[in-house]
Amino acid sequence: MTSAGLAAAPETPAAADTAGTAVADSALAGALCLDDVERAAAAVLPADVRDFVAGGSGAESTLAGNRAALDRVRLVPRVLRDVSECDTSTTLLGRPVSLPVATAPVGYQKLAHPEGERAAARAALRAGVPFTVGTLSSVPLEEVASPEAVTWFQLYWLRDRELTFDLVRRAEDAGCSAVLLTVDVPWMGRRLRDVRSGFTLPREVVAANLAVGAHSSAHRATAGASALATHTSEAFAASVSWADVAELRRRTRLPLVVKGLLDPADAVRAVECGVDGVVVSNHGGRQLDGAVASIEALPAVAAAVAGRCQVLLDSGVRSGVDVLRALALGADGVLVGRPVVWGLAAGGERGVARVLDLLRDELRDALGLAGCADVAAARGLRVWDGSAGGFRTARAGAGEDEGAGER
């Protein structure tokens, strides 16, 4: 598609009454952190959608654990380094980006705003970061990708193998620059908030890339069940294996990323399949409840990969300091998901732009205060990793003063 597809458009906040919209607009204008944006979104999102976005699986112990584990990581700043020009830019999957952040794949974004993925993609383009359009996008991927943008396509492996590969071909033709294969969802985890609310998609929100329209099982309410869980169980292949990853590698010319790894042995297998990146992720606490926090799994995965592919992290990132924590523990960048939805709900494109601007400002502040002139220097920071009970660095010999950032 042409750049016209991402042209500016009216920004109508998520469905809510006028008073709620006014509250969200006011809150968004004064938002100083992502928690503020979340509160602005809460003013306009219907309760069942709010729970769908916020919730995790089971008792939500992994959901809570992601945040607790990030907070346990303490950075050890360096001093007397020239940080007068902190540079947040880097390269992700071979493309220059303005900061080591990409939007995570979040399905059905029209639940938060009438323009859904279109508005979020425009904000990502303005911010100079990759936008990830998902298999379950509520807008066709061709209407999200543009030649000017860095767009990644997130793929779920479907029971219909040819449809799976057709989605990849469509992503290539649309100008996407990478494929992210999500591998931790043989079926949807037991998300009790959705079960209790009987969460069901409204007719106007569809899986636009799958051509099932408003007649899928995701739109049929069943007492005591999540319609989305029913739909994904019908659509997703629980039999996907490393052989399928290898076949996908042969079938696409795009950089390939495997998303949803926590065990370093799986990261090694991914590298052996020829992937260009892995995402250390527990799906935001929405799959196996009781799984290790993503930030806790990151150091071992980064060590196992040993620079043979890029390493990204998601699940629980809520600030520029969190981004710096991930960089210091071995990540090349992070993905953010729920905050994008909050921004959409609170103000459409403008709300997502606010989320990304806050992350940029916070990351620059964190880099400078930690004595890092750029993203590369963050890999040399020592951290007190409470989960490991000691100090660690992502880069061997990083305690010396030869590292980046010394001027």
Residues annotated as catalytic (active site), given as ranges:
283
d(CA 185, CA 261): 11
Helix (H, G, I), strand (E, B) or coil at 389: coil
382-385 and 390-392 strand pairing: antiparallel
DSSP-assigned letter for residue 85: T
8 close to 116: Cβ distance less than 8 angstroms: no
d(CA 167, CA 264): 29
Query: Per-residue DSSP letters for 171-222?
Result: HHHHT--EEEEE-S-SS----HHHHHHT----TT---TTTT-GGGSGGGS--
Q: Give which of 157, 230, 136, 234 is closest to 191, Cα–Cα.
A: 230
Q: Tokens standing for 214? A: 């408003």
158 close to 176: Cβ distance less than 8 angstroms: no
d(CA 314, CA 66): 9
349 close to 65: Cβ distance less than 8 angstroms: no
d(CA 347, CA 356): 13
